[in-house]
A and B are shown apart, each in its own frame.
Chain A
Amino acid sequence: MTDTAMSGPASFADAGRTRDPGAAPLTTADGLPLKAALRRSQRRLRLQAVLLVLPLLLFIFVTFAIPIAMMMSRSVQNPEVSEFLPETAAVIDDWDGEGLPGEEVYAAMARDLATGQENNTVGRVTARINREIPGARGFMLGTAREAATLQPPYKEAMLAANKGWGNERYWRLLKRETRSITPAYYLLALDYEYDSNGAIVKRPENYQVYQPLFLRTAWMSLVITGLTILLGYPVAYLLASLPLRTSNLLMILVLLPFWTSLLVRTSAWIVLLQQQGVINDLLVFSGLLGDGSRLRMIYNQTGTIVAMTHVLLPFMILPLYSVMKTISPSYMRAARSLGASNFRAFVTVYLPMTIPGIAAGTLLVFILAVGYYITPALVGGDSGIFISNLIAENMRGTGAQVRLAAALSTLLLVGVLLFYWLFNKIVGVDRLKFG
């Protein structure tokens, strides 16, 4: 390149010259700054890359980011009182919360009820309040029907119409719920609530549903993850060490579950495990069990664990396999030539080398399991359902509490993210190998 007599392009000679330090900023042959030229030449490439992923980005934004954001905002929204009792909401803020509110609050309530009755919106707010003060729906609707005929002073008139209007708790609740953002659904999702004084307290024992269910979901997912490791590890090892032709056949068997509908597979487990099912029949037939003592293996935790372990097994085997495939047999041989027994070589050399696969499989299976819905719904009975089943329950039907469902879902999401964070701390996600 130092040979200037060379017939190369002009930029060659330039490149040679611009090496000395302290020279003017680098430029191309026609005097453009080199940096700008580079940027310009790469802009096209970058634009191309953006265009390539743009459809997917849009798709994810519309179907993933937006719904999740909506769900999260819903979980804290609290529009009913401020929206459907606007006049009450406006004046109740001035009330100090002691005893019963004054006449102007009752008057505002009377007007709101009249408007609500007219617009048929009164049912929305009564349902909301009735969830916290059973019976409120009754006296509110009753008074609403006569709201148009109520005469001042409204406080006395309403108190006369129904004792409910004298309930201090009712008014304190109203005052609290005029705020359009509330943590109430998160409290509920964690089995807490406001007591009559507005303090946050644990719900009564027999109403505590969600916290135990969260814990059960996490615990059972851990059990399922552990089982998939125990069952999947030897299979993955076999797959990785067999000659290619045999291992391909085995791989098809591993992937077979992916090719059958989840419903079909789960139903098959019902056929197998139910009390009049194949396994119980065989046990009774072979005399191992009396007819009266047939095992309950489904519609409980056992059913969920068995069926979900089966469903999620491939997600453990595949990352394990992909890691094991890359481990040369010479490592085990080296360990053995150095004096380690087969077992010791496995524990001290092979197992540690497969940790990236175990970790990836664990992450996949656990996160999939925590949010699983269909299988627990079908075979879980009462004791084997997951949190997602209750989320679904809260989203449909007449007693739907979409905001509670949103809060539960958000908590589940936070839990998964927390798990991921913890996992990253311990194992390091950059060490994982998914396939």
Chain B
Amino acid sequence: MIASPNGHQNGNVGAGDASYVRFENVQKSYDGESLVVKDLNLDIPRGEFLTMLGPSGSGKTTCLMMLAGFEPATHGEIFLNGHPINNLPPHKRGIGMVFQNYALFPHMTVAENLAYPLKVRGMSKAEIETRVKRALDMVELPRMAGRRPAQLSGGQQQRVAVARAVVFEPDLVLMDEPLGALDKQLREQMQYEVKHIQERLGVTVVYVTHDQTEALTMSDRVAVFNDGRIQQLSSPQALYEAPTSSFVAKFIGENNVLSGRIASIEGDTCRVELDGGGTVGAVPIAVQGIGSRTSLSIRPERVVLDPGPDVPNGLDGVILELIYLGDHIRVRMDVAGNDEFIVKIPNGAEMRPLERGARVRLGWRTRDCRALDPVG
């Protein structure tokens, strides 16, 4: 596969491209008392980079372990390439895996680590050698073949782990927080490298992380997990711009929340009476109907100060704090009873000076304000 990025797709004729991996009503319980994964349904097309994103304990690793075959599903069925795999042992699934601690075999050299899956498959010495070399070139570590994992830096170990997971040309690679142990700078660099390798090889990747930036930058689609359920499954852009629940809005990116009650619904907009006073327009996404409680979600960069007459939703706020960040200024305000209301103001030429304690008018476009399920 490293030689021919399209090679793996040959085996795929006729198999439903729409779902290479399929979770069907999968449930998982470890103790027989509580469900860690609750009714999971997920279709992953071939070649997709899908990220499972969610807070710690939300069941992401468990899903990955069920897919890899290390944990049995308590209920439901998992399909790989159209075949049910619940009874297939892990070593027959042909799924590459990258672990958080890399799990490089410490008693083998880098080359031996990479050769391991090839040797298991009974390849010839020469074949193994060329493939290992190719894999090392791919992760830009051609001279590390003779080293032991302990002699490599964290980033190098990470690359070897990725190389080992793809060297036997699996169609599916699972990664469980593979960058979690790296420092921030290296992590960002590795995000791009992993993404590039995935694109080059065309493999399907299921990636687990609790880091939303990682999920947004790398994925084709993101499944946001919470409490054993997928809260939202969409592209990174949709996830950020069109969250469908308060949890997702809060979990992805920065988010301002205003609580209120639905006053009226007309077509695809609604009016919301805020608890802190005032009425604003919003897009109803997850609301029960007129009179029900809701939480409004507005991104900090979508709020404008001193809105012109074309901006319909105006409120007054008091500046509590100003943080200078170079390209933009973060303003913390007290708006409609929420004293954690954040506004990001680009540091443009015509920006007017702001002062702490000043009272300013702010507003946003109706479509930037989403009425979601009530929190708290």
Contact = CB atoms under 8 A, between A and B. Distances in A.
B62 to A, nearest CB: 14
B107 interface: yes
Contacts of A355: 107
Interface string B154-189: 000000000011001000001000000000000000
A328 interface: yes
Interface stretch (A255-263, A339-347, A400-408, A414-422): A339-347
Given A333-B70, A349-B105, A353-B107, A340 B99 contact: no
A337 B96 contact: yes
A234 interface: no
B103 interface: yes
Interface in B91-137: 91, 93-97, 99-101, 103-107, 116-117, 120-121
A328 B99 CA distance: 11
B63 interface: no
Given A344-B120, A352-B107, A353-B106, A338 B168 contact: yes
Contacts of B116: 335, 338, 340, 348
B90 interface: yes
Given A339-B94, A339-B120, A334 B103 contact: yes
A334 B164 CA distance: 10
A333 B103 contact: yes
B68 interface: yes
B106 A337 contact: no
Given A333-B70, A333-B97, A335-B116, A340 B91 contact: yes
Contacts of A330: 99-101, 103
Contacts, number: 67
B121 A339 contact: yes
Contact of B117 (A328, A331, A339, A342): A339
Contacts of A345: 91
A333 B99 contact: yes
B91 A331 contact: no
Given A349-B105, A352-B107, A338 B70 contact: no
Nearest to B112: A348
A294 interface: no
Q: A interface, by DSSP: helix, strand, loop or mixed?
A: helix
Contacts of B96: 337-338
Nearest to A337: B97
Most buried by A among B94, B97, B120: B120
A336 interface: yes
Contacts of B121: 339
Nearest to A340: B120
A344 B104 CA distance: 16
Contacts of A353: 105-107
Interface string A113-148: 000000000000000000000000000000000000
A330 B97 CA distance: 10
Interface in B280-301: none
A339 B99 contact: no
Interface in A299-351: 328, 330-331, 333-342, 344-345, 348-349
B96 to A, nearest CB: 7
A339 B95 CA distance: 9
Contacts of B106: 353
Nearest to A334: B103
B330 to A, nearest CB: 31
B101 A338 contact: no
B97 A334 contact: yes
B105 A336 contact: no
Interface in A235-287: none
Most chain B beta carbons < 10 A, residue from A334, A337, A341, A342: A337
A212 to B, nearest CB: 40
Nearest to A345: B91
Nearest to B167: A338
B152 to A, nearest CB: 16
A339 to B, nearest CB: 4
Contacts of A338: 91, 96-97, 116-117, 120, 164, 168
Contacts of A342: 89, 91
A336 B90 contact: yes
Nearest to A348: B116
Interface in B234-249: none
Contacts of B165: 337
Contacts of B95: 337
A335 B96 CA distance: 10
Nearest to A331: B103
A388 to B, nearest CB: 37
A349 B94 CA distance: 18
B103 A328 contact: yes
Given A328-B101, A330-B99, A330-B101, A337 B107 contact: no
Contacts of B91: 336-342, 345
Contacts of B101: 328, 330
Interface of A: 328, 330-331, 333-342, 344-345, 348-349, 352-353, 355
23 contacts: A328-B103, A330-B101, A330-B103, A331-B105, A333-B70, A333-B99, A336-B69, A336-B70, A337-B90, A337-B91, A337-B97, A338-B97, A338-B116, A338-B117, A338-B120, A339-B91, A339-B168, A340-B91, A341-B91, A342-B91, A345-B91, A348-B116, A353-B107
Given A337-B68, A339-B120, A340-B120, 15 more contacts: A334-B99, A334-B103, A335-B105, A337-B90, A337-B97, A337-B165, A337-B174, A338-B96, A339-B91, A339-B117, A341-B89, A342-B89, A349-B105, A352-B105, A353-B107
Report the 8 A-B pairs with minimum CB-CB distance, sorted nearest first: A338-B117, A334-B103, A337-B97, A330-B103, A339-B120, A336-B90, A330-B99, A352-B107
